[in-house]
Amino acid sequence: MVSIEWDSNLSVGVELIDEQHKMLIQRLRELSEAIEVTQGTSQIMKTLDFLIDYTDFHFSTEEKHMTELTYPGLGAHREQHGVFKDSLNRLVEDFEEEGATGALAESVNVFLVNWLINHIKGVDKEFGDYLRQKDITL
């Protein structure tokens, strides 16, 4: 099972965004634990539903600040968010249809962890760098 822990390598240097990332990571760990101990479809779905709601909140927060600051990377960033939301919704639909199969649970977990790590270390860090260069705090 793939798991993720918060550490300073995942910090984008923006407290608001880092705190939201910590919450996402905590919930991903809860998802991993629910899958590992086979807590059943209802607990896994509850965690996935939270992730859908929280990523909507988090992505909206990021995009709102990017829009207000006329951040040049907004379009690409928003596109990545859209791809993630579409992928997550498809995974949830598969989960609802197939149930908590081990293979599907593992693929959901791997996708979520890998996407979040790559996103944070990539475009989110770029946004953090942009804010520091402009001496902007959120």
Mean local confidence (pLDDT), 100-113: 76
Would you list the domain boundaries of the chain?
9-133
**Alpha carbon distance 61, 125 (integer Å):** 15
Please indicate whether residue 33 or residue 123 has the higher confidence score (pLDDT): 123
User: Between vectors from CA 114 to CA 31 and to CA 22, what angle results, nearest 5°?
Assistant: 60
Question: What ranges in the chain are assigned the alpha helix state H?
Answer: 15-36, 41-68, 74-98, 102-119, 125-133
pLDDT of 124 strictly over 80: yes
Residue reference for tokens 């918060």: 6
Please indicate whether residue 73 or residue 5 has the higher confidence score (pLDDT): 73
Tens-place pLDDT, residues 53-87: 999 999 999 999 999 999 999 999 999 999 999 98
pTM comes to 0.85
Classified by CATH at the fold level, domain 9-133 comes out as Four Helix Bundle (Hemerythrin (Met), subunit A) (1.20.120)
Tens-place pLDDT, residues 20-46: 999 999 988 888 777 777 656 777 788
